Amino acid sequence: MTSPRVPGPAQIEGFLEHLRSERRLSPHTISGYTRDLQRLCIFCGNKPIGNLPALDGHHARAFVAYLHRAGLGGKSIQRALSASRSFYRYLLRSGVVPNNPFTGVAAPKSGKRLPKSLSVDQTARLLAVNAGEPMGVRDRAIMELLYSSGLRLAELVSLDVADVDLGDEVVRVTGKGAKTRVVPVGRFARDAVRLWLATRAVAAPLGEQALFIGRNGRRLGARSVQLRVRYWARRQQLGAPVHPHMLRHSFASHLLESSGDLRAVQELLGHAHISTTQIYTHLDFQHLTRVYDDAHPRARRKDGAPVRRPGVRAAAVRNKADR
């Protein structure tokens, strides 16, 4: 197998600009594409041989093996393959390469991991923040809004003051692919945001439009939100690490558990495909089967302990997903 040529920096930057300006992907997604293409360059040896990438199917499969040896899991390898496939699709359309070497190359299968969510009690404990100082007021508004409206982290930090309409009880969100959706804001979140806006009016410099700002008066970054949510999870003694996306998962699973309306949850989350939302039906039925195992007289052993029935649980999940 001949040595593969390294994709040129200009070609990669052109592709990333295509993702930014034409496909309008989020900065978080573009950052992931950048990391994965850097892995591809490292695999190629970081030694440019001419300007044109010259990978073939053998190189693509060797790249998968290389990532596997590096300790990446199935999901990470799938993402790296997707980034590489998209990059070569872009080069193919531009006439730079004659074919896409990553077409048909599969990543190792990985088990489907269900998203982790908080129970209703855990969520209530996390949000019961007795915050007196300005940053605590801000943090409570952040967590209430994440849970109330099911926002992604990138969506939250990109919010401007003008995006929140407390009178109409909605927030206008710009999601993936620069798609805009309007979602409701619950009473507790409205109260928390209203209190933060009064606090923010004193701290924000003139002309700053960001809804959530840091101590420096500028737009709060995603990493800062992650650290603050983790801080409050420890402070409220939840006993488990919590990240912002867990509040989005909790929003979806609690709403689906109460309503059973998968389409409505899809719209609120801003999912393009219903299959993405269906993961929450698994969480819903896990909850229902736990209730069954714990409460039904025929589901208990003679010693009184609940009987776990993975077969029943799997069948319930399949039935729900097929509806």
The catalytic residues are: 152, 176, 245, 248, 271, 280
Q: Please, which residues have CB within 8 angstroms of residue 231's CB and are 6 or more apart in sequence?
A: none
Answer yes or no: are the C-beta atoms of 183 and 170 closer than 8 Å.
yes
Q: Can you list the pairs that 246-250 forms with residues at least 24 positions away whose Cβ atoms lie under 8 Å?
A: 246/115, 246/116, 246/117, 246/118, 247/118, 247/123, 247/143, 247/146, 247/147, 248/146, 248/150, 248/151, 248/152, 249/115, 249/116, 249/117, 249/280, 249/283, 250/117, 250/118, 250/123, 250/147
At 236, the amino acid letter reads Q
Q: Distance (Å, rounded) from C-alpha 200 to C-alpha 215?
A: 10
Answer yes or no: are the C-beta atoms of 248 and 175 closer than 8 Å.
no
Q: Distance (Å, rounded) from C-alpha 323 to C-alpha 306?
A: 28
At 65, the amino acid letter reads A
CA-wise closest residue to 242 among 154, 123, 70 = 123
